[in-house]
Structure 1
Amino acid sequence: MRKKIGIILLTLLTMTSGYYYYKYIINYDKTPKKLELVKNIDKKIKKENEQIKIYIPNKEHTFLEIKEVTLIKNKDIKYKIFEIFNYLKENNDLFSKEEELKKIYIEKDKLYINISNNFKSKITNAQEELMFIYSIVNTLTEIDGINKIKILVENKEIKSLRGYIDSSDFFKKDKLLIKETK
């Protein structure tokens, strides 16, 4: 009888330790907890329009210009972020056409964006890196509830995109880079 109880306890202990090993060691991910992963987005939306400010670098990459863009209104913030990123990719010469927004994570007022590694071919100096970052940050912080942006590359935290600007912390909107056009 003692042998059976010992075997049962040993089996339960093995199963429990295997579960925790798999959950916390094998599947360990450095992305913050309680985040929402977005990969597939429902594209069935109502056809109402909304205006949003998009920040695009000028031709000399010295400041950001505001463009008012009309997007199809959608309550899903994730869908809106992907649409805005696609607009930036098509209209910002610092974005590679192969650039991809892979995933987003949202935690309270913080947005984590995971981009592909394709941006590097277009950025050649510190000013271009600054304009690339704040084109994204200033635009996405226009969305209600988002105040801070963290850029991940290929799902990894990075110290810098191209070696010029510290990307290890969250970015907030920088109004000093914006040139108001009349």
Structure 2
Amino acid sequence: MKKQGMFLLFSLALLAIVFSAFYNKIELKKQTVYNVLEGITQRVTKSQEKTDIILYFPGNDFNLLKAEDRLIDDNDSIEKSIVNEIIKGPLKEGKSQIVSSKTKVIKIKRQGNTLTLNLTKDFLNPIYSNSGEDYLKIYSIVNSLTELPGIQYIDLYVENKHISKFTGYEDYKGLLSRNRKIIEKKKYLNPMEVLKEQMKLETQQKWLEAYMLMSDDCLNGNRLYFDEYVKQNKEIMDSGFINEDYEIGGYTIKKDKAYVDVYFYTYEGGQRCLLKKLKLGCIKIDDSWMVDWVQPE
């Protein structure tokens, strides 16, 4: 941010010099410079507003949903942007379009832990006439939106009628919650293994893969959204804090929670020295261990 600020100040100074040489009247010069620079600042600020999001699309075999990260312009509510990006379809190989591209958002509203979404009737139109298409279509949206911390339920409507009122969708009554069973990801039976893999992915800057090994508990107040997670880790990486020189030790388990010992090392005078020992938390969700959003001990 300091470098960007210095660059912007330098640019403004140059523009002021150019305008002062061009205009004779000081008052006119000041007003013109102000107007031009204000417009430039607004455009620069707007162009810098980008958000990393996670979307779910079915794989080409139509068995499970696969995660895809995407950097989008932050010009709308994050909830509406997520739905619109699902409608656009996947940008990476190995995934399939699942929602008709003609679908539009009529209304989207968040209240507490519930998000109400109202879509046009185009949402009901099948693309492939696949037997599991409706199921994947519903949870492509539900799982993408419940990636947002604090959103636990989706109340889905089509043309102001609840989704369960339409033929073929009768099973989707009431509020819809996250469905982890159809997300393609490896299951970890050991807290030490999942933490080791997650930390390795972070040092490789594979943010999506690393984030997918973090707890997705909607009620966890410490949970960061993917965009916050990426920005935070990039700042830590730039500061040189993320260090590849560490060792994973033992762990202790209490019911569905565990703490894993991690030893961080540094070098002083050519000698490898223990910098710090931390206990990092993991949590068991749906029979698989994930890294928890808790402060290290």
* 1:38 paired residue number: none
Aligned ranges for residues 94-133 of structure 1 at < 5 Å? Answer: 94-122=98-126, 124-133=129-138
Cα deviation per residue 1:94-141 (whole Å; 9 max; x = unaligned)?
211211111012221100100011122225354101100000000001
* 1:9 paired residue number: none
Relative to its length, the structure with more strand (as a share) is 2
TM-score normalized by the length of structure 2: 0.42
**Is residue 153 of structure 1 aligned with residue 150 of structure 2?**
no
Count, aligned residues = 136
Give the distance between the partners of 2:165 and 2:58, measured in 1 at CA.
Answer: 20
* 1:81 paired residue number: 79
TM-score normalized by the length of structure 1: 0.65
* 1:6 paired residue number: none
RMSD value over aligned CA atoms? 2.4
Q: 1:65 to 1:160 in 2, by over 3 A?
A: farther
* 2:88 paired residue number: 90
Give the letter aligned to residue 80 of structure 1: I
- The structure whose Rg is larger is 2
Cα deviation per residue 1:121-173 (whole Å; 9 max; x = unaligned)?
22535410110000000000111221100110101224255415522211111
Aligned ranges for residues 43-82 of structure 1 at < 5 Å? Answer: 45=46, 47-73=48-74, 79-82=77-80
Identity %: 28
* 2:194 paired residue number: none
Give the distance between the partners of 1:161 and 1:132, measured in 2 at CA.
Answer: 14
Secondary structure of 1:103's aligned partner = strand
* 2:260 paired residue number: none
**Is residue 168 of structure 1 aligned with residue 173 of structure 2?**
yes
Between 58-67 and 152-161, report the one with greater CA deviation: 152-161
Judge conservation of contact 1:55–1:67 (CA < 8 Å) in 2: yes
